[in-house]
Amino acid sequence: MIENKIPFNKPYLHGRELVYIAQSVASGKISGDGMFTNRCHEFFESKYNFKKTLLTTSCTDALEMAAILLSISEGDEVILPSFTFVSTANAFTLRGAKLVFADSCDNSPNIDPLQIEALITPRTKAIVVVHYAGVACNMGHIMAIAESAGIPVIEDAAQAIDSYYKDKPLGSIGCLGAFSFHETKNIISGEGGLLTINDLSLIKRAEIIREKGTNRSSFFRGEVDKYGWVDIGSSFLPSDIIAAYLFAQLENIDAIQARRKAIWKTYYDSLIYVAEKSGRFMLPTIPDFATNNAHMFYLICDSIETRTGLIDYMKTLGIHSVFHYLSLHKSDFYADRHDGRELRNSDHYSDCILRIPMFFELSDREVTRVIYSILDFFNLH
C-alpha cells in the first residue's frame, strides 16, 4: 500500500484566523498597529511580562531593529554562534560589524558561554545568543559574563516562544529579544516577528526606528502635535491582517503547545532506548534550567553518512526529514572574513543533526510511521 507523504512541516489554521482577518478588514484599518496588533502586544506583555513588545514583519526585521537600536557600526565586534540561521548574523553585518563566531557546547548546539568569555575584546558591542530548538542557553552564566563586561545581550528567540530559563520567559532576559512567526515555527502568521524590549531606555527609539525614523507613534498618542523625520529607520511593522492571523493562534497557544509536547514525548520515549543501545545517534538533552517548548525534534547522528542514509531511507517511505544549519564561519560569504579558528562542535552539528516531522496537525498514526522508519533503518543498517 502506498501511504500518504508526511511533510516536514505544515502550516495550519487553529480556529478563528479567517474570522479575525475578516474583522480586521471590516474595521477599516489593515495597515500596521491596528486592533489586532494591539491585542497581540497586550497578550505578550501580560502572559510573559515582557516590558514592551513590537510586532515586526519577521524575526529578521526584529534582529535588524536590535542592531540599529544598539548603534552597532563599522568596526564593532559582535559575538554570536556559528551554528545559527543567517539572519542572526546578517542583521549585524548590515551595520558594518565584524562577526566573531563562537562554538556550540559539547552537549548542545547552543553557544558555549566559556567561548564567549574568551572572545570579548574592548571592541565587543553585543553578544547574540540563539536558543536552539527553543531550549534556553545557559543565561545565568552568559548574563554574568556580559554584565561584568558591560556588554548588551540580544536573544535570538526565533524558536523559543513559550519557553523558559528557570522561571524567566526566553526573550525577557537580554536587553532585547527577537521571535519569529514564520510558518515553520510553533505559532505562525506566515511571515511575522516580534521585538521584545527589556531595557526601558530603548523603547522610544525602537518605536521611531520601526516607523521609518519618524515619531509617528508619539503623534498618535498625542505627545507631539506633528510628526516628522527624527532618526534612521525603516518599515518594520506588519499589516493588521498578519496580526489577526497571529492573534487567533495566540489565543490557542496552550492547546498548540500541549499537542506539540505530546508528539515530542512520543518521539523521545520511543527512540531513546535504540539511541542508547545502538550508539548510532543521540537525542536532544534538556538541561535542568530549561523548559522544552517542543519546537523541534532532532537526532544527532554518529556521522554525516548515517544521516544521509537515514534521510534517503525515510524518503523512500514518503517521510520528509531535513538537516539544519551549515556553520556560518564556513559559508561562501564569510569563510574569507573568519579569523580561522576551528569550531568543531558547530561543524559536528552541521553534519549530524537531522530534524524529523513536527507540526501541530501531525497525527498519532503519522508519528508512529516516522518512529518505525527510524527503528527499521537502524536495525537494517
Enumerate binding residues for ligand PLP (CB under 6 A): 58-60, 84-85, 87-88, 130, 156, 158-159, 180, 182, 193
Q: Which of 8, 6, 128 is nearest to 67 (CA)?
A: 128
| Gyration radius of the chain over CA positions | 21
Q: Which of 93, 92, 91, 113 is nearest to 102 (CA)?
A: 113
Strands (DSSP E) contained in the chain are 52-56, 77-81, 98-102, 124-130, 153-156, 164-165, 168-169, 176-180, 193-197, 281-282, 297-301, 353-356
Output 85 or 92, the one with its CB closest to ligand PLP. 85
Residue 289: CB atoms within 10 A of its CB come to 16
Nearest-approach distance from CB 129 to ligand PLP, in angstroms: 10
Output 88 or 124, the one with its CB closest to ligand PLP. 88
Chain mean position to CA 39: 22
Output 61 or 240, the one with its CB closest to ligand PLP. 61
Nearest-approach distance from CB 88 to ligand PLP, in angstroms: 5
Nearest-approach distance from CB 273 to ligand PLP, in angstroms: 30
Output 88 or 306, the one with its CB closest to ligand PLP. 88
Q: Which residues pair with 81 in a beta bridge?
A: 102
CB 120, CB 98: distance < 8 Å: no
Q: Which residues pair with 102 in a beta bridge?
A: 81
The residue type at 3: E
Residue 42: CB atoms within 10 A of its CB come to 12
Output 154 or 248, the one with its CB closest to ligand PLP. 154
Output 63 or 208, the one with its CB closest to ligand PLP. 63
Nearest-approach distance from CB 156 to ligand PLP, in angstroms: 5
The separation between the first and the last C-alpha atoms of the chain, rounded to the nearest angstrom, is 24
Nearest-approach distance from CB 123 to ligand PLP, in angstroms: 24
What are the strands of the beta sheet with 281-282, ordered from one edge? 281-282, 297-301, 353-356
Q: And the C-alpha cell for 190?
A: 506566515
Output 157 or 244, the one with its CB closest to ligand PLP. 157
Q: Which of 145, 146, 148, 138 is nearest to 111 (CA)?
A: 138
Output 158 or 263, the one with its CB closest to ligand PLP. 158
Nearest-approach distance from CB 109 to ligand PLP, in angstroms: 10
Q: Which residues pair with 128 in a beta bridge?
A: 154
Nearest-approach distance from CB 187 to ligand PLP, in angstroms: 11
Nearest-approach distance from CB 12 to ligand PLP, in angstroms: 17
Output 84 or 350, the one with its CB closest to ligand PLP. 84
The DSSP code sequence of 285-308 is: ---TTB------EEEEESSHHHHH
